[in-house]
Amino acid sequence: MDNTVFEPQSVTYSASLGDTVTTALKPKFFHSWTTGLFVCCLIVLAAGIPGNLLTILAYFKNQQLHNPTNILICNQSIGDFFTCVTGPLFAILNYTKVGQALASSHKYLCLVSLALVNTVVQSSITNILALSTERFIAVYFSLRYYNWVTETNVKRAVVAIWTVVILINWIPLFFWNVWMPGGMPCMPVIVLPEIFHIYFTIPSMTCLLICAVENMAIAFRAVRKQRSIIAVAVQNVDQQPGEANTKSRDQFKVTKIMLLVVGCFFAAWLPWIVLVSILYRLPPSWEKYGIPTWVLVAFDYSKVFLAANTIANPFIYGWKNLLFRDAYYKLLGIKRNPNES
């Protein structure tokens, strides 16, 4: 049996980036990096399943965790769990010979894979924006926080997020695609029209920009809050904290956790964002001679970092949030040290 993979045919695609990527995906390059990439993707995605499933079960099985912030945390874990479950299909269709053969001859298998991938990617972005916005309100509109951020309002926001994300990203499954048989790589930039990438990329990048601005503002306020807490603690060493101060400190602890979660998110997404920006604004020499292979390799491996972000969050919650830690211990049947805080 021939050891080569399907080489792209002379087909005109709608996106110039799609042309370049397709041309670069020759058989001689396929074996040099995609096998390792495929293995890395499967390992990382499999590693993300237990932690996110544990977080979801912890929320639903513990009444103490039922508050607006934890609804968003649970929602993020649901999105990460779906990423881990659906990601292997995309990896198989793009990074194995059998998968490429299937994707090149089964239109709807390819389109369903892309719809799932785009849905979980965009849900991840909008979920982290929702968490950041909730913290922004808690920090800058603390007096109105409990009126605005209620469980009902947060649940409505979650439903709205998933509804919009699903509707947008499943449209190509029915009519908005340029899939053709005969060896087309099953990647969004190849199979979906250029206008879809514009509608997908611009809102996503806008959400990430808003999220970054919100978190810089939150971090600035958090630093000032930390200093004031230390000053008050020094002045009132022998006094019991009032209820208002206790609530304020609890909110501050939650804010620090969310800043850590968002920081890990951007650390995982930064390589992909940088490389996407480069690929959409190709240097003249790359347009003339083609994208260097190392750039394509780096771009593909940046997706592993996206997947790796699904592993980090459950560890952060278990490390920094006592209620989640207790819930994890109960689910795992581990006895907690009474002196642990």
> Could you tell me if residue 96 is inside a domain?
yes
**DSSP-assigned states of every residue in 128-162:** HHHHHHHHHHHHH-HHHHHHHS-HHHHHHHHHHHH
> Could you tell me if residue 339 is inside a domain?
no
> Could you tell me if residue 6 is inside a domain?
no
Domain that holds residue 38: 17-332
CATH number where 271 lies: 1.20.1070.10
Nearest to 90 by CA among 186, 212, 167: 186
What pLDDT digit, counting tens, does each position of 1-12 carry? 334 333 333 333
> Could you tell me if residue 36 is inside a domain?
yes
> Could you tell me if residue 5 is inside a domain?
no
Q: What's the number of domains the chain is made of?
A: 1
What pLDDT digit, counting tens, does each position of 108-126 carry? 999 999 999 999 989 999 9
The pLDDT-based confidence of 222 (bands split at 50, 70, 90) is confident
* Tokens describing residue 209: 């920009």
The pLDDT-based confidence of 210 (bands split at 50, 70, 90) is very high
> Could you tell me if residue 338 is inside a domain?
no
**DSSP-assigned states of every residue in 325-337:** HHHHHHHHTPPPP
